[in-house]
Amino acid sequence: MTECLGIIAGGGVLPRLVAEDCAVRGQPYVVVHFKGVELDWLTDHPTIKASFEKPGKMFAALKKSGVSTVTMGGGMGRPRLNPLKFDATGLRLASVVMNAMKNGDNSTLKIIAALFEAEGFTVIGVHEALPALLATAGIPTQAQPSAEDKKDASRAQEIVEALGAVDVGQGAVVAQGLCLGLETLQGTDAMLRFITANPPRLPDRKGSRGLLLKRPKPGQDMRLDMPAIGPDTFDAIAAAGLSGVVVQAGKTLILDQEKTLSRANELGLFLWVL
């Protein structure tokens, strides 16, 4: 019998895609839905209701469902924990979890993954559960990056590498060599909304409009927080007045690739997979 996959679900489309793929292939699975995480697609999927303060109850429910492997996908904010609601396992792990939440996302997720592993679970990346989502090298859009865009991409890559070294973010927006925005704890969408609300005055009106670059942080655990883009990414960069998106092959997830490329082409934007 095929073992059951546990899907630790955050917000967004990613965990839904994994669940739907499991359902189509006949792979047993169960979705872990934490209180406070908004998921509107659970009706037809097996689900474990979970609370951040009661990890012992969640671990027991996963094991009862036959789960030995888990994957984590989707955005999840840092919860406000109520110590009065901790179960016995929660009390035992409280200091570890509290300290973890004071670190950057990558460090925090590594500690959370280690807690699952300590309970006997194997943690795999979403790209291992659903490899079709991985970006492959090339420029699959009708729009192509210009020579100026390529210079901006090099500058953005330098910035993201510097940010990643201190576990801050995975993305930056650069136009004409100027950094217009940095991804921090609030995420890529918040960065793009800031740029949309605060349009820059660029030195050359006829020069490059700018681009978003997303790439993993140095030393990032690719099982836990791989950069991802989707149709909404292109809607957001269009609103911000940018020309395209640059990501890294084999280390970026493209959510609903056909719809994503169609949206990029509709908007006249490029996707460049390095």
Q: Looking at residue 250, which CATH number applies to its domain? A: 3.40.140.80
Work out how many domains the chain is built from and give that number.
2
Q: Is the pLDDT of residue 242 over 60?
A: yes
139 or 3, greater pLDDT: 139
120 lies in the same domain as 234: no
- In this structure, are 115 and 239 located in the same domain? no
More confident residue, 142 or 222: 142
| Closest C-alpha to 215, from 131, 154, 144 | 154
* Tens-digit pLDDT profile for residues 79-120: 777 777 888 887 887 777 677 666 656 667 777 888 889 999
Q: Is pLDDT above 70 for 49?
A: yes
Same domain, 17 and 142: no
147/259 same-domain check: yes
Residues 194 and 253 in one domain: yes
Band (pLDDT 50/70/90 cuts) for residue 184 is: confident
Q: What is the pLDDT of residues 155-165, one digit of tens each?
A: 999 998 888 77
Distance CA 109, CA 103 (A): 9
Can you list the alpha helix ranges (DSSP code H) found in the chain? 14-25, 55-64, 88-100, 105-118, 126-129, 147-165, 188-197, 231-239, 257-267
Looking at the fold, whether 57 and 178 belong to one and the same domain comes out as no
pTM of the complete model beyond 0.85? no
Residue 34's domain is classified under what CATH number? 3.40.50.20
Q: What is the DSSP letter of 228?
A: E
Q: Which DSSP letter does residue 124 get?
A: E
| Residues listed for the chain | 274
Name the residue with higher pLDDT: 15 or 86. Answer: 15
Domain end position, chosen among 100, 131, 162? 131
> Within this chain, do residues 61 and 151 fall inside the same structural domain, yes or no?
no
Q: Average of pLDDT values for 161-178?
A: 86
Return the higher-pLDDT residue of 128 and 110: 128
Together in a domain, 127 and 183: no
If you average pLDDT over residues 4-17, what whole number do you get?
A: 91
Domain assignment of residue 102, given as a range? 4-131
* 171-175 and 178-182 beta bridge pairing: antiparallel
| Confidence (pLDDT) at 84 | 78
Asked if 147 and 243 sit in the same domain, the reply is yes
208/222: higher pLDDT: 208
Boundary of a domain, candidates 110, 131, 152: 131
Query: How confident is the model over 60-71, as pLDDT tens digits?
Result: 999 999 999 999
**Same-domain status, 255 and 184:** yes
Q: Looking at the structure, do residues 96 and 144 belong to the same domain, yes or no?
A: no
Claim to verify: residue 56 and residue 150 sit in the same structural domain? no
Pick the residue with more confidence: 63 or 205? 63
**What average pLDDT does the chain have?**
88
Cα–Cα distance measured from residue 161 to residue 150, given in angstroms and rounded to the nearest whole number: 17
Angular region, 18: left φ>0, alpha ψ -120 to 50, beta rest: alpha
In which band, very low, low, confident or very high, does the pLDDT at 1 lie, cut at 50, 70 and 90? very low
Final residue before a domain boundary, out of 103, 131, 159 = 131
